[in-house]
Amino acid sequence: MDELIRILSYFVGIAAFLGLNLAYLGWVERKGAGHIQRRIGPKDVGPYGLLQPLADGLKLMSKQLVVPDNADRLLYMSAPVLAMVATVILFVTIPWGENLVPREFDYGLIMIFAVASAAGLSILLGGWASGNKYSLIAGTRAVSQSVAFEIPMLITAITIVMITGTMNLNEIIRSQSGMFWNWNVFALDKSILMPISFLVFFVCSMAEINRAPFDLGEAESELVAGYITEYGGMGFGLFMMAEYGNMMIGASLTTILFLGGWQCPFGLFPGPHWFLLKMYFLIWTIVWIRWTYPRTTLWGLLNLSWKYLIPFSLVNLLVTALFIKVF
């Protein structure tokens, strides 16, 4: 019975946390974009536009769901739901604090990759089911991109697994305890390439969640709005929320693998606050990059993965193995 209550309270807690974050990350992005472009951003609804997400949500929910004539009705309706479900499942193994894990799972790292790769299917289905050429092209683009970047991301994650010897996310964090130079980013004694592989992982996670400058799936100047062109109302809302959720997951995963998760930089009072601090910092960095750099081309993007990141991550794997063997 205790277990049941635990599961239920985590479920409610995650749902509330997720809902709040997905709504307000939109606000953060619009406000950030505004200030980066010398505007104010949302300001009318509530103080500093803080009630804007509520207004947006009401508007999206009250809109009519229009299904285009050419669309495959069933798949068209289920694609956004699938995207959102996959995103929510990803939060099951994230260790927010030492004892604040919904489910401590020995294969947490693999589980995140497994479910995230399945989420790519939802974009593809959404793009196809819309019955629109732009959506279809965008869907194939988004997926070819996430398949390409999954490889260096997985290989980089494997180097971390080699160093820590576990795939349990909480154990990975525990192995980075103490001062901040024990974090995997600075662990030069474990592999000399660690800071660069941190960057590789971060870039890959950005490409994986289709964020600018890699948001070729919704390149509005070429493809209207990409795979969400035909979606209105809450269908669009779910895709948007799934994107923000994936952004949170990408930032959390980078935090866990490289920045010591809930560990304090100075070995004092570790806890969820450090995790959230690091995660929000990374999320802000992602937003910042989006509004600073222009979009790349598809070929530039695929070349970056296949010609630079994959060879580099393979070299990184070898160097890490060498370090483990020699030292």
Nearer to other proteins, 144 or 210 (CB): 144
What angle in degrees, to the nearest 10, is found between the helix axes of 52-62 and 2-36?
A: 100
Does residue 321 interact with other proteins by CB under 8 A?
no
Q: Which stretch binds other proteins (CB under 8 A): 54-62, 144-152, 180-188, 214-222?
A: 144-152
Nearer to other proteins, 227 or 275 (CB): 227
Does residue 246 interact with other proteins by CB under 8 A?
no
* Binding residues for other proteins restricted to 101-120, rule: CB under 8 A: 105-107, 110-111, 113-118, 120
Contacts of 145 (CB under 8 A, 6+ apart): 207, 210, 214, 216, 217, 298, 301, 302, 305
Report residue 9 as tokens.
């309270």
Does residue 175 interact with other proteins by CB under 8 A?
no
3-state secondary structure 32-45: HHHHHCCCCCCCCC
Please report the sign of the dihedral spanned by the C-alpha atoms of residue 173, residue 174, residue 175, residue 180.
positive
Does residue 147 interact with other proteins by CB under 8 A?
yes
Region for 263 from its dihedrals, namely left if φ exceeds 0, alpha if ψ lies in -120 to 50, beta otherwise: beta
Does residue 136 interact with other proteins by CB under 8 A?
yes
Site string for other proteins, 248-287 (x = CB under 8 A): ----------------------------------------
* Cα angle value 113/138/279 (rounded, 5°): 40
Radius of gyration of the chain (CA): 20
Site string for other proteins, 41-80 (x = CB under 8 A): -------------------------------x-xx-----
Does residue 203 interact with other proteins by CB under 8 A?
no
Site size for other proteins (CB under 8 A) = 29
Report residue 206 as tokens.
């950005």
* Cα angle value 183/188/189 (rounded, 5°): 100
Nearer to other proteins, 52 or 313 (CB): 313
Positions touching other proteins (CB under 8 A) are 72, 74-75, 105-107, 110-111, 113-118, 120-121, 124-125, 128-129, 136, 139-140, 143-144, 147, 150, 166-167
